[in-house]
Structure 1
């Protein structure tokens, strides 16, 4: 059987929201470039981007308590919260541009307005939440946030959470109405439909097996056509590896120096989904609590109103677990195969450092359904077992690397880009906040990998993303304008609040 050899300008590996975003940006900035996409599954957005495999929260640090930390002197550091909020504003702007340019349609099919609520119990946590509210509420990006520790007000905000609550323990919440629920699976599919209309070649059921540097500096990508069994060889000047948990192994195959001393730790997840429409109707919001001691940030418990398949639903979780797979559709050998001579010490150091996390994951794996119900009842006191089913969420791979601050084998809880010195290949690693900051992350890819084009692209980037290169927190008038315009374009305006 003959092999196939082809050349192109750009190859995107993985048909998730990251590749979709990068492809959409490049098609606006360099429409003449030829782009090919290779995805081993049968459709776009089937792994990490799928709506059942992530929280669907438009992560803007409006309710996620792990993005603000209490310092030794009792003050609250909001630096990370501000950064993540600004990054989400970039995504809103780009999505609005795509809608206004008629490149994608019906934004209500992928983004909906939903209140974001932080909910805590216990005197210590109430004190933390109040200080957090005071630190954030004067910031332009968080205007409209409310705080209350009065049960009557909390009943208005989250009646299902307060119904049947008999404990005398101190409780409090913050609420902001400008939050969003984002169906990243639907968005990903929309973006790939758009890319296909722009003559981007999308190859499903094609598994990338290897990447090799050629003599002229380009990359040869070995691809297996799952249906025909053919081996294909495609060369490109630039390759982006956006394969979710599968990105690490492909990055390692490039052999670039930047791929050394990096490992991955897989974490799986479960959500409980409500099957009783009467219960679903009683709740409207995303209610985030505090993570348990030793739990990874991605395991912050939350009770979420979600819009999936044009239907309002209610999810609680996630419950963390361990699987050696790096993808839901991956192999049980993924973790073992990721251990290389150059990262084994890094991995071992992480194992020693993260005994608390290991213990937590073991406890989570051993949880019975009744124990999960007990955790749910901290949010919904009257929850009934028969109203809730279990769904398997996505696999996430937390990056392990050597850092100056954390030393050898430090577990990273963010999203990061690893690229070669010459910018010819880049890979996206990590987890939350992930998809919410896709536009920010892909702009970083453009800046790292195409510095020679940024000056000529800058005016077009600013047309698509007006705040590009600017700080919204330092330009509240610009934030007001952008927040209002994107709310209107994305059909969020009825629920949005504007900073004054």
Structure 2
């Protein structure tokens, strides 16, 4: 009897297991997700290999609806001008600029990519997606002022940070940020740095522009309201991608030589479904955000800067408050935050089961260990969830002393997933930033993580190409094309002032941005072909 029951159970499991539908078509590339990462990679691959066939799957009804959407991120062109967490103070009191220089060089590559797209008429008028907004750091208190002054002195020794200004003078600060200084205690000691080269970027507009051009090309299809349900490796090292059409409620499959999972917070679950060993040990902590936003034209007109402050003692880097000028669809806005939220969703339009379903035997211990090692993050999230409207406005008044509650409303921003990964020493660590996970054979890649994400989409996808298409990248044809798109490819701009000046001048001219020339007597190490 027991054997009979066991046989029935096996048969029922087989009957309930979804079968893989027949292959509908064969393609070179499948891009999962309709955000800026997929748009950037698709554009780059189509330029390198014009004959390639690409299928794009987005489960929502439009592209750029999750983290890439304008109000789902801060719109900061992350270049380390104002973000204090990129320049930590060492134990000996010196300032570590390594991360700041890396991020600045990465953003320069993004600017080169966008400039090339403008030059090729792929992206529209640059004012529709990128505008100069000064980047500022603003602090108060003796210790913070001492740190900021030292940071400025150290950073301005780096060529890419030449032109950054520093002041403790209330008169000068009132000229830079009148709204921030209005109503402030005249006895309070404050200081700020300012960089005119800072930018505000509408990543949603960039994404939409890239996709619009991409799908106008042969052998490229964008499938909206299509959800990738499964990924299976084939014997020939290709992939069968199982897709559900959410409109017709039908399931089909395509065969792809290469798959990129750029589904934002949803990338982790699909990466796990792929079964590649490189995915083992990865987990994710979902963190959402909210902004205080004003539509008061008088306030918006008085502020023209992205002002980043210091995170509170014991709080994580993601908690850095900032008061941002935004330019969205040609209209200025002003927002403050972010205030953290928490849910078990990995996407703004995700499922409450996202986090539980992503737990498995490979990442459960790393997730637990990372949680135990990041108690301040847990406390911070709890404190943020308990904030009242009055407490949020009180936080705003540290930056805008005269802020009135009635001028501001709370708006929900996007959902992020911070990476948790296995670690030999700690068991598991919480990692900030982004990471590309690639299979050993290069046929599968996924992007995990968050900020500075979108700002560095171009260099991140360039590195992915180096990993997954390394043989083709060595060809003369691909090398020449890459250097057209990225004139500084293979060189460190911070170490070649002449090349930095030339590339910055070129990209700034096309993007209609400000340019500051750094004095240098050297010649560029690379021929500039633009």
TM-score, with normalisation over the residues of structure 1? 0.98
Aligned residues: 496
User: Offset at 1:257?
Assistant: 0.5
Q: Partner residue of 2:404?
A: 384
User: Which residue does 1:427 correspond to in 2?
Assistant: 446
Q: Which residue of 2 aligns with 1:476?
A: 497
Matches of 2:355 and 2:138 in 1, distance apart?
Answer: 36
Aligned residue number for residue 233 of structure 2: 213
SS at match of 1:197: coil
Within the candidate set 143, 147, 151, 2:166 is matched to 147
Q: How much does 1:309 deviate? A: 2.4
CA drift of 1:201 comes to 0.4
Deviation at 1:299, TM superposition (A): 2.2
For 1:279, the equivalent position in structure 2 comes to 299
Q: Which whole-Å deviations, capped at 9, do the CAs of 1:16-50 have from their partners, x for residues lacking one?
A: 00000000100110010101100001111000100
**Separation in 2, partners of 1:471, 1:91:** 14
Distance (whole Å) between structure 1 residues aligned to residue 297 and residue 406 of structure 2: 13
SS, match of residue 270 in structure 2: helix
- Which residue number in structure 2 is paired with residue 119 of structure 1? 138
Q: Secondary structure at 2:247's aligned position in 1?
A: coil
Are residue 195 (structure 1) and residue 221 (structure 2) matched? Answer: no
**3-state secondary structure, aligned to 1:379:** coil
Q: Specify the alignment match of 1:58 in structure 2.
A: 77
What is the CA-CA distance between 1:343 and the residue it aligns to? Answer: 1.0
- Structure 1 residue 370 and structure 2 residue 390: aligned? yes
Residue 95 of structure 2 is aligned to residue 76 of structure 1? yes
Question: Which residue of the partner structure matches residue 247 of structure 1?
Answer: 267
Q: Which has the larger radius of gyration?
A: 2
Q: Deviations over 1:37-92 (max 9, x none)?
A: 00001111000100010010000001010100000111000000000000000000
For residue 109 of structure 1, report the CA deviation from its aligned partner.
Answer: 0.2
Q: Is the 8 A contact 1:4 1:231 kept in 2?
A: no
1:60-459 counterparts in 2 under 5 A?
Answer: 60-166=79-185, 168-199=187-218, 200-403=220-423, 407-456=426-475, 457-459=478-480
Whole-Å Cα distance in 2 between the matches of residues 451 and 486 of structure 1? 27
1:18 matched to 2:37? The reply is: yes
Structure 2 gaps of 5+ residues are 1-20, 520-530
Instruction: Tell me the CA shift for residue 396 of structure 1.
Output: 0.5
1:320-358 CA distances to partner (integer Å, 9 max, x unpaired)? 121110000001111111100111111111121111110
Question: CA offset at residue 489 of structure 1?
Answer: 0.2
Contact kept in structure 1, 2:231 and 2:242, CA below 8 Å: yes
Q: Residue deviations 1:393-443, cap 9 Å, x none?
A: 111000001235x62210000111001000000000000100000011001
Q: State the shift of 1:499 in Å.
A: 1.6
Q: CA deviation at 1:167?
A: 5.4
- Consecutive unaligned residues in structure 1, runs of 5 or more: none
Q: Distance in 2 between matches of 1:402 and 1:68?
A: 26
Distance 1:221 1:104 in 2: 30
Aligned-partner SS, 1:42: coil
Cα distance in 2, alignment partners of residues 293 and 53 from structure 1: 26
- Counterpart for residue 31 of structure 1: 50
Alpha-carbon distance in structure 2 between the residues aligned to 1:447 and 1:296: 32
| TM-score normalized by the length of structure 2 | 0.92
Q: CA deviation at 1:497?
A: 2.0
